[in-house]
Structure formats: structure tokens, C-alpha cells
Amino acid sequence: MTELAKHYDHRAAQARCRALWDSLRAWHAEPLPPGSGDGRIFSIVIPPPNVTGALHVGHALNNTLQDILVRARRMQGYRTLWMPGTDHAGIATQAVVERRILEEEKKSRHDLGREALVARIWAWKEQYEERILEQLRDLGASCDWDRLRFTLDDQCAGAVREAFLRLFKRGLVRRGKRLVNWDTFLQTAVSDDEVFHEETKGHFWHIRYDVIDPKPGEPASVTVATTRPETLLGDTAVAVHPDPAAALDAADRDLREKRAAASSKDQPTIDAAIDDLAGRRRDLLPLLKTLAAMAKDGRQVRLPLLARPIHLVADEWAKPEMGSGCVKITPAHDPNDYDVGLRQSLPMLNILNPDGTLNAAAGPYAGLTMKKAREKVVADLEAAGQLVQVEDRLIDLAHSDRSKTPIEPYLADQWFIRMGELAQPAIDAVMSGRIRIVPERYAKGYVDWLSEKRDWPVSRQLWWGHRIPIWHVSGVTEADLVAAFTGHDTISWQPDGSDGFFVCSSDETLPVEGIANKDLVRDSDVLDTWFSSALWPHSTLGWPAATPELACFYPTSTLVTSRDILTLWVARMVIMGLFDTGEIPFREVSIHPKILDRYGETMSKSKGNGVDPVDVVEALGADALRFALAGMATETQDVRMPVDFQCPSCGHLIEQTTQNRTKPRLDCPKCGTAFRTQWAKTEVDLALPRGPAVSEKFEAGRNFSNKLWNATRFVLMHFDEADSATARGGLLAAGDPFAAAPMEDRWLASRLASVARAASSAIDEYRYAELARVLYGFAWDEYCSAYLELCKSRLADPAHRDRARSMLLLGLDTILRLLHPIMPFVTEEIWQQLGAVAGNRRMPWDDPDSPLPESIMTARWPEPPEAWLDTKTERQFGTFLAVVAAIREIRSRQNVPPRQKVPAAIRAPSDMADLLEPMRQAIESMAVVELATIRPDAVGAPGAATASVAGCEVFVDLADLVDVDAEIARLEKDYAKTEGFVKAKKAKLANETFTSRAPEAVVAAERVQLVELEDRLAKGQESLAAFRARKAQAAS
RNA sequence: GGGCAGCUAGCUCAGUUGGUUAGAGCGCCACGUUCACACCGUGGAGGUCACAGGUUCGAGUCCUGUGCUGCCCACCA
């Protein structure tokens, strides 16, 4: 037969498999024709990767898990669709492209203009999308490649406009001023989710505001404190608590309650706080009461530097237990102050230009950046004598996740989606179990987040994205609109609150450019990128059109994602899915862990601690990558993956540390070769050979692929050209193969049945790691190490050869099919090899009337019959393996050369002897012994080494080979161990409460064990005595 | 501040409803390459299951508390 190479060649195999799958379009799914009944449907939409860059190992995990589910279901006969696509990722992509253009061409987006920038981003998208798709296919992802979607393509855009119009018509879209996190670099608002906080050293400035025309008994000034003194330019009030006495009482009560519940360690801290409150009551309360009265009286204070009079207001936001008890109010630049501003009807004074400089409202400070303004404001305050005190303090400064620059809170016009009535159905869907989140604990975060029902701000001041489908027109009447748009049900409008209207349409453009000589001006903002993502499950299937795809594959079956976008994305998909279609978008959500580095930090490009999946695929194969990732996908929230640099010259591994992981070049400490890392930028560094970041975790998968490959080589070795086609193909056809079969065959069948069941249920329950572990253990330890070894002698015997061959094929074929979802390439490659030799073979679960499929991808998932399960045989086989292991241990201890056959005997109770007798040859070959007898009265040669296992006594006659001291040491150790167990058991059984309260079965089992242990102890003592005597004899 | 996880072998992780002597992979030690595979085989060493209490005949597993680590949410004039 064909000679197979000694090592599995993953590169060649991957290329061949891809070509095969593509030519068969085995990944393609057609919807059921309408009205043709239900059928078994399985569908997944891919969490669309951002087109910002290449995929990392986290994506590899996410997509591996999806592919496992998809491939398994496809084999199980489901009509299976995996919808692929990518995400335009608004702000992230625009930021990347803008930064690159700035770096390379020194141009800003304003230099380019909207149209040109968007064109550049499209070009970027084409390039990276292609790369991402190539990576997915390298990984083996069996997406339906005929159905590729992009969140910004025409189909998705149509769905976005339609969904937005429907929300608009229902009154769920509102316009409002809102404080946004303003990114002065990108000149856009970013969501709270795109902001990170960083502690920086700062100051706490105490500033005096003078009271205007103080009356007798009133203070001349109030002091407020701030970490951002420049914002005082936008102050429109100073607040004091309306009832400071009551507020202090409440604070005191809270602290005392807390103290009662606190540990003794924390109590002093709380006591100090209570003391502080008492001090405030004494020193500060009279002043605060006066100020509160003044505030109610409408009194004003003078804003330092600008000399603008501003109101003193009474508002509960000012906490008398903190600071001076008074607080400056800057409604346009602080979220809490904004709320105060709304409550107190204060002016909202915006002092910021979009580029981060101060505007005209800042008077003499106009044109300065916030940073410069701060310096000047502080200096001027000091000069004016208004600065009371400066403290050092650590402050949490908000930064934009995208540009890494500080955020300025900024008041801007925004569109919002009202969440009040939208959130509840999404909460209910999870609470009622219609959507199941696995692991369940993540449901809590989902429900809590949705329960706040906070309106969703959807405007982004960006150019890359879905332009908000709203036009504004002013100076017209409703009658004008009716006249212009009657008959267009794709258009809706609402008044803008003054003399105009907002017009929303699901069409790309409006039929007219103006109304009554007034221009219709389109909103320049785009939608939050999550808006189009929220529609992903139904928009990709054709919604709003009633497509056969939508009818067949929606709701989708499972969503596979990681926990960090459970709210951002998952919750919003449920909301929008329910709103648009009335149906949930998916039935189950499988949450998988995040991959962290050696130090427990998330992997990211900016940290440079990531592994490039392409490196792994190239070096070890996609299957190796997939196997390792599946093995890491446990129920835990995170898994660590230690990463090393590999020397490209000698292969030496250099541990990645916090020190070296962002170095552009490294020198191998072993061979001295200099190599570059992913950080290389300079031409000198780039000329060096690349040293990939690797993890040893993936080698297990590569080794496993090779193990399977070699098991196949062994099996195929025993088929040859002389075999007739029937002999090669029909081996498994003949009736019930196991009724009168030898024990090892019944054992294999039973194990196959158990393992197939375990695999199926692991997939049903999203236990990916267990799936990988069970199949690895079975294939390696049971099929290869045990069964295949046993077959070696049978294959040499013409009487048993055909049965052994067919059983080997049965086992191998089943393993391949079960493993295919995890390791598609190696299993396909082997399947093709088997096909060349035994293409007519049939598994009992195959359709007897049609030929085997050309690809394992569409082969039937193994479903061994219940009758194959045979726990008794599995137990007996375990005894046999234990006997072999015991002999091997003796040999190893005694340093018997591995190939040297030694005489042995087994003393076994008669039932056990009957069982072991048929396995005599197997024991002899696996343990390399010459078995004299297996009988209840067997005895070993004088001085034979012994071991007691599973109620049997094994004698290995080592004659002169025996190392008496080694044997005594081994026996003593074993004796001591056994003695300990016996003691513990006896104590347990002597315990009256145990025997009376524990279940009968448990007690009985303990008794049986005690008997066995005591027997083993007696035998051990016997052997020990013999060897001690022998030693004494030798000494004399 | 509120919430959710995690802490088991040198490393990365399993360990179902409490019930024999707590497992795997990698790494380590010893031995071994004609006979599928050195990307291998055989054997071995290595654990006070973070700590302290409690429930129970019995706790890695359940409860309470403590410590450390990570994440999410909120807030910090």
C-alpha cells in the first residue's frame, strides 16, 4: 500500500483539506424550502471580528469553539449554518486609519475631508477583511463562505435604517443634550465603555468665592475644592445642602450602622469618621445653615477671575460631610453637576471647543488648551489671593480607550434610544429561560445591567459608520411635511421642540432636498457601531425582507462569545432582535474564558504579550492550535497561557517577562542569534530573522496529531493489494460483531459507546475542554497504548487477522469522527487515507444505502448502540491492565532489560483466572514475560518478586537478576502504605456512628476494601520476610 | 463602595449530586530506539487542595469568616 511518511505533514494536509472542502462546498447551508416542515436546524452567527487588524489568539479561541459546535451538529445531521462576517467597528477603525495617515502623511481627517477619509477606510477594510478571512480559513472555520456579510454592507445598512425608523416611529428615539466623554484627539464622543481610568498624581485646590454684598452675620466668602480648577470658568453656581443638619444626622446614622456590622479591625476607621462628623457639626454646621438660608434667598457669589455673579443654590448633591460642605457646579462639564443644573434650572455654559481648547465663554482664557488654562487659572487665583490651599492627591483620570488621551466631559447634542420599554422583554427572555446563558452565573450581570434601563446614546461624531438617517428642517409647518411626504411610509417625523422637525427615513435619501424652500439637512453623526451589531443575527439573514434564510435559521441556536461584551453586544442583540422580529436572536449563549498571559494580564497588541495564531498554525498546525484552545475552554472565567519567545535559529525558548516583552530585538542566550519580535520598527531590526511568540501549550496538540497519524500508519500497514475489495471494505458488515468476541473487542466496543456518549453530551453542554480531554485520553491511552498493542499478535495470526483489522478500523474511524470537530484537518487527511484503502467500510451508524461521503465533514456522527455498553467487561479489562502494570513496575524497579523475557506466574481466584487465561498471550507480550500458570494455587519460584493487585498475586521470577535490596525497599514502602490504609479503614469501621449512619452500601464497600487491603498486607509481609531471609542468607 | 470569579503537583488546569488511596498535560528523574510513532515507550518522584472556624459518620467538594489575585459595575467637588 501507499507508504505514509513517518510524521504528519500539517502544511500539506491543510492545503489539501481546504481545497476538498471548498470544492464540495461542504460548509454551505441552504434553507429549507418554505412549508417543508421543521427539520433539525442549527445556526450560529459569528461575532464579527473588527476590521481594525489581524485576528489574535482570543479570536482563534472564539472561532474554534464555534467551529466545534458547527462541525459536530453538521455531522449529527442538522441543517447547519455558520454565518461569517466582519464588523466595521466605527471608532476603532477610524482611529487606526486616522493615526496611520497622520503618521505617514502628516494629514488630519479634516485635511482629507469626509468622503476621502471614508474611501481610505474602505480600502483599509478590504485589506484587513481579506486577511481576517484568510486567518479564519487557515483555522479551519467551516463558515458558509457564500454568505459573507459586513456590518456596513448594503444589506446591513438597509436593516439599520429600517430598525432605526421603526424605533423613531414608536417614539423611542430622542434628541437631547448630554454630557459625553469627549475625545479631543479624535474629536468625538466615546461611550462609557470606551473609557478607561488611570490614576495620576494631581492636586486638590481649595478656592474662595466671595459672597456678593454680604449682610451682617453672613460669611464674606465660601470655599470650594476641585481637582480641575480650570472648570471654574464654566461654573454657573455654588451648591450647599438645603438641610445640612439632617444630612449630617443621616450620615452619622449610616456610619453607626456600618460600625455595628464591621470587623474590629475596621472599627477605628469608622470611629474616626464619626468623630469627624461631630467636629463638622460643631465647626461647620452654623455656617452651612446660614449658606442654605442664603441660597433659598437667591443670593449670589462672585466667580473668581471672571467676576461673573453666579447663584448660590440649595441642592442635596452638596454633601455637608465632605470637604467644605460646598461644591462648585459646572453643569456643562461634569455628570453630577449636570444633574444639579437640570434640577436647579441653571445655565449650562460650555467652555470647550471640539479640539480641546477653551472657547469664547472662557473670556481671557479662550484659545488655551485645558492644560495651559489650568496653569494660568491657578497662577491667577494665587495672584488674586483666592487660592486658599493646595493638597497633593491621586486622581483617577478618564482616558479614551481609542486615542489614549484624557477625556473632557463635554455637553453635546446626541440621539438616544429610550430603553424603558425595550429592556424589559430582554430581561424576561433570560429570566424565563427562553434564552439560556452558559455558565448560568453570567445571567446576573446581564439582568442587572438591563434593569437600569439607561437610555442608549447612539450618536458618534465620526465619519466611518452608518450615517444617522435623520434630516432636520426648520421654519416649516407639519402641513408642509404632510404635503411633501404623503404616500411615503418609509418616512416619519417629529417636532424638534422649536420651529422645526426631525425627519427620519429608512431610504438612503429623501425624495426631496427641501421643503417650502427650507433645506433638509442630514445629521452629520453616525450610529454607535453596536447598533448595527445589535441587528447582526437577523440582518445577516435578510431582515427586513422575509427571506427563506430568516424563516429557516432564525432564531439562531447558539451565540459563542466572551464575557466582556455580554452587555455591550449580547444584551443589545436580544433587545433589537425582539423589537424587530418579535423573536429572541438565539436560544443559548456559550460564554468562554479570556486568555491571559503568564502574569494574568489580558493579551493585547499594545502590551505585546500576545501569541499570533498564524505562528502556531504554521509551526504546529491548525489542529494543534485548536486542540490546545479547546482544552483551555473550561467554565472558569480566565485561563493563563505562558508565552515564550522562540529563537529562530536554535529554537531555544526565552521566557517572556514584563521587562523583555516589548523589546524590538532580543539576543538568544544560548546561540547568540539576534532576532526581531513583533515590535521591530527600524530597518535594522526588521532585517533580523523573526522570533515568534510561542507557547508550549500547543505542542500537545501537534504530538496528538502525529500520534493519530502513526496509529493510522500501523492500521493501514496490515491492509495490502492482495485483499479483495470486499475484504477491505466489508469487514464490519457481518452481523453483531461482539456477542462471541474476545474480551478486548467487547471492551473496545463498550469504550467506544461510552466515549461517544460522553463526547455528545460534552458538546450539548458546551464543555469543550472535557470533550478534548476525553477524546485525547481514549485515543492515546486506550486505543493506541492498549488496544493497538493487543492487536499486534492477533494480526500475525491468520485466524484472527480479519477480525482484528475490522476492529482496528472501527475504532480508528470512530475516533476520527469524534475528533473531527476539534481537529478537522488531521482527521480529514486520515479519512482520505482510509478511503483509499478501505473505502467500502461501513460503520453501524452509516446509512447502508448510500456511499460513504467524500469528506469526513459530512460523515455521520458515531452513535453506538446501547447494547455495546458492557461495564462488566470494562471492569475486567481494567484488572488485566493492572496486572500488566504490576509486572512492568517490578521489571522497572529491578532494572530488567526491556526486551528480556522473564518467567512469571499469577495466583488468582478461579473466576479471575478464567478471565485472565484468554488474555495470557496479551499479558506475555505487553509485559514481556513467559507465563507459567494462572491458577488459584500458583506459586512463584523461590525468591520471585511479587506484587499484589486486584486480588491476584503476581510472581516475577528474576532468578539471579534480582536486586534484593531494591526489592526489600519497594516492598517496605508498599507495606507501609498499605498498613496506613488498613489502619484508617479499621478506625473508620470501628466508629459506631459511621457504621450506623452511613448508607449500607458505603459501609459494605469499606468492609470489602478492608478485607482486600488486609490480604495485600499479609502477602506483602510474606514477600518481605522471604527477601529478608534471602538477604541474611547471602550475608552469612 | 457593590457584585462576580479564582486560589488543587514546579507551571497551566481538571475534579459532576459530599463517599475508596485527589487526576491530566507540560516540566523533572531513571531506563529504552530493527519490530506505527523519540512529535515515542515503560516506570518513578512530586500535593497540609490559600488560611481559620463550622455542619456532617465522612469535606478539595457544603456554610461562615480572613487573606491574596483577577474581572465587572458605581463613585470620587
Nucleotide nearest to A228 (CA to C1'): B77
Which residue is the nearest neighbor of B27, CA to C1'? Answer: A696
Could you count the other beta carbons within 10 Å of the beta carbon of residue A275?
10
Does the C-beta of A997 come within 7 A of strand B? yes
Contact between the CB of A599 and strand B at under 7 Å: no
Amino acid A409 CA to nucleotide B33 C1' distance, rounded Å: 71
Instruction: Give the angle subtended at the CA of A255 by the CAs of A253 and A257, to the nearest 5°.
Output: 70
Q: What residue has its CA nearest to the C1' of B69?
A: A600
Cβ A711 to strand B below 7 Å: yes
Integer angstrom CA distances of residue A817 from A136, A256, A301: 22, 66, 80
- Region A818-840: mean pLDDT is 90
Distance between CA atoms of residues A14 and A11, nearest Å: 5
Q: Any atom of strand B under 7 A from CB of A5?
A: no
**Mean pLDDT, residues A317-328 taken together:** 85
Name every residue whose Cβ is closer than 8 Å to that of residue A81 and which is 6 or more positions away in sequence.
A29, A42, A43, A44, A144, A147, A549, A553
The pairs formed by A202-205 with CB atoms below 8 angstroms and a separation of 24 or more are: A202/A227, A202/A392, A202/A393, A202/A394, A202/A395, A202/A397, A203/A227, A203/A390, A203/A391, A203/A392, A203/A393, A204/A390, A204/A391, A204/A392, A204/A393, A205/A229, A205/A378, A205/A381, A205/A387, A205/A389, A205/A390
Statement: the CB of A963 is under 7 Å from strand B: no
A336 CB neighbours strand B below 7 A: yes
**A197 Cβ contacts chain B strand, under 7 Å:** yes
Q: What is the mean pLDDT of residues A984-989?
A: 79
In this prediction the ipTM stands at 0.93
- Cα–chain-centroid distance for residue A867? 39
CB contact at 8 A, A829 and A736: no
Contact between A686 and A680 (Cβ < 8 Å): yes
Closest nucleotide to residue A988 (Cα to C1')? B57
Q: Which of residues 124-163 of A touch strand B (CB under 7 A)?
A: none
CB A112 within 8 A of CB A896: no
How would you classify residue A119: left for phi > 0, otherwise alpha for psi between -120 and 50, otherwise beta?
alpha
Residue A292 pLDDT > 50: yes
Q: Answer yes or no: is A601 CB < 7 A from strand B.
A: yes
pLDDT digits (tens, 9 = 90+) for A132-141: 999 999 999 9
Nucleotide nearest A206, CA–C1', reads: B77
Report d(CA A469, CA A520) in Å as an integer.
Answer: 12
Q: Which residue has the cell 460643631?
A: A282
Q: Who wins on pLDDT, A494 or A739?
A: A494
Phi, psi torsion values for A495, nearest 5 degrees? -65, 150
Does residue A201 lie within 7 Å of nucleic acid chain B, judged by its CB? no
The candidate with the shortest Cα–Cα distance to A906, out of A947, A963, A877, is A947
In angstroms, rounded to a whole number, what is the distance separating the alpha carbons of residues A311 and A323?
20
Could you read off the pLDDT of A20-47 as tens digits, one per residue?
999 999 999 999 887 776 678 999 999 9
Find the mean pLDDT for residues A513-540: 90
Q: A944: which DSSP letter?
A: -
User: Among A48, A76, A132, A137, which residue's Cα sits nearest to residue A559?
Assistant: A48
A562-597 burial: b if 16+ Cβ within 10 Å, else e: bbeebbbbbbbbbbbbbbbbeebbbebbbbbbebbb
* Structural contact between residues A180 and A412, judged by C-beta atoms closer than 8 angstroms: yes
**Amino acid identity of A170?**
R
A267: left (phi over 0), alpha (psi -120 to 50) or beta: alpha
Determine the 3-state secondary structure of A382 from DSSP.
helix
For residue A980, say whether its CB is under 7 Å from any atom of strand B.
Answer: no
State percent of chain A over pLDDT 70. 94
A636 C-beta less than 7 Å away from strand B: yes
CA A572 to C1' B25 (Å) is: 39
The pLDDT of A244-260, averaged and rounded, is 77
For every residue of A477-543, DSSP letters joined together read -HHHHHHHHTT-TTEEEEE-SSSEEEEEESSSS-S-SEETTEE-EE---EE-HHHHHHTHHHHTTTT
CA A327/CA A313 separation, integer angstroms: 10
pTM over 0.80? The answer is yes
What pLDDT score does A1 carry? Answer: 47
Taking C1' of B19 and every protein CA, the nearest residue is A1002
pLDDT of residue A721: 61
As a rounded value in angstroms, the CA-to-C1' distance for A755 and B25 is 20
Name beta bridge partners: A654.
Answer: A645
Q: Please determine, for residue A163, whether its predicted confidence score (pLDDT) is greater than 50.
A: yes
Does residue A641 reach within 7 angstroms of strand B, measured from its CB? yes
Nucleotide B70's nearest residue (CA vs C1') is A600
Res. A877 pLDDT band, cuts 50 70 90: confident
Pairing of strands A518-519, A514-515: antiparallel
Q: Is the pLDDT of residue A593 over 70?
A: yes
Confidence of residue A724 (pLDDT cuts 50, 70, 90): low
CB A226 within 7 Å, strand B: yes
Q: Which nucleotide is nearest to A231 (CA to C1')?
A: B77
pLDDT one-digit tens code per residue, A112-153 = 889 999 999 999 899 889 999 999 999 999 999 999 999 999
Examine the pLDDT at A609 and tell me if it is beyond 70.
no
A560-579 residues near strand B (Cβ < 7 Å): 563-564, 567
Does the nearest atom of strand B lie within 7 Å of A451's Cβ?
Answer: no
User: pLDDT: is A592 or A263 the higher one?
Assistant: A592
Q: What is the pLDDT of residue A168?
A: 94
Q: Specify the nucleotide whose C1' lies closest to residue A993 (CA).
A: B57
Residue with smallest Cα–C1' gap to B15: A770
More confident residue, A730 or A249: A249
Q: In chain A, how long is the greatest CA-to-CA distance?
A: 125
Is A995's CB less than 7 Å from nucleic acid strand B? no
Beta pairing, strands A387-400 & A674-676:
unpaired
**Closest CA relative to residue A641, chosen from A700, A698, A701, A565:** A698
* Residue A222, strand partner residues: A209
Hey, which residues does A80 pair with through a beta bridge? Answer: A42
Its sign, for the CA torsion A796, A798, A800, A802, is positive
Whether pLDDT at A375 is above 50? yes
A681-720: pLDDT as tens digits: 777 877 888 777 778 888 899 999 999 999 999 998 888 7
Nucleotides in chain B near protein beta carbons (<7 Å): 3-6, 11-15, 19-21, 24-27, 30-32, 35-44, 56-58, 65-67, 69-77
What is the spatial distance, in angstroms and rounded to an integer, between the CA atom of A429 and the C1' atom of B72?
22
Strand B reaches within 7 A of the A716 CB: no
Nucleotide nearest to A330 (CA to C1'): B77
| pLDDT above 80 (res A563) | yes
DSSP annotation of A948 reads: E
> Is residue A557's pLDDT more than 80?
yes
Mind giving me the DSSP string for A189-209? EE-GGGEEEEEEEEEEEEEEE
Question: Between the CA of A1021 and the C1' of B62, what is the distance in angstroms?
Answer: 41
pLDDT of A265 reads 57
C-alpha distance from residue A595 to each of A68, A477, A599, A602, A669 (Å): 18, 58, 11, 7, 28
Average pLDDT value over all residues in chain A: 85
Q: Residue A164's pLDDT is what?
A: 95
Q: Is the CB of A367 under 7 A from strand B?
A: no
For residues A921-943, average pLDDT: 83
Q: How far apart are CA A748 and CA A869, in angstroms?
A: 10
pLDDT above 50 (res A244): yes
Buried-exposed string A190-227: b where 16+ CB fall within 10 A, e elsewhere: bbeebeeeeeeeeebbbbbbbbeeeeeeeeeebbbbbe
pLDDT at position A441 over 60: yes
Q: Judge whether residue A984 contacts strand B, using its CB and a 7 Å cut-off.
A: yes
- Nucleotide with smallest C1' distance to residue A1003 CA: B19
A255-278 residue pLDDT tens? 776 666 555 556 666 777 778 888
Q: What is the pLDDT of residue A329?
A: 92
- Over residues A186-190, the mean pLDDT reads 74
* Closest amino acid to nucleotide B11 (CA–C1'): A642
Tell me the pLDDT tens digit for each residue of A738-773.
Answer: 667 788 888 999 999 999 999 999 999 899 999 999
**Cα–Cα distance measured from residue A318 to residue A248, given in angstroms and rounded to the nearest whole number:** 12
- A898 CA to B34 C1', in Å? 15
Q: Is the CB of A326 under 7 A from strand B?
A: yes
Note the CA–C1' distance, A640 to B51, in angstroms.
24
Angle between helices A699-717 and A824-838 (to 10 degrees): 0
Whether the CB-CB separation of A912 and A940 falls below 8 Å is answered with no
The separation, in Å, between residue A963 CA and nucleotide B48 C1' comes to 35
State whether residue A416 is helix, strand or coil: strand
Question: pLDDT tens across A400-413, in order?
Answer: 776 777 888 877 78
Is it the case that residue A156 has pLDDT exceeding 90?
A: yes
The reply to whether the CB atom of residue A786 sits less than 7 A from any atom in nucleic acid chain B is no
The reply to whether the CB atom of residue A635 sits less than 7 A from any atom in nucleic acid chain B is yes
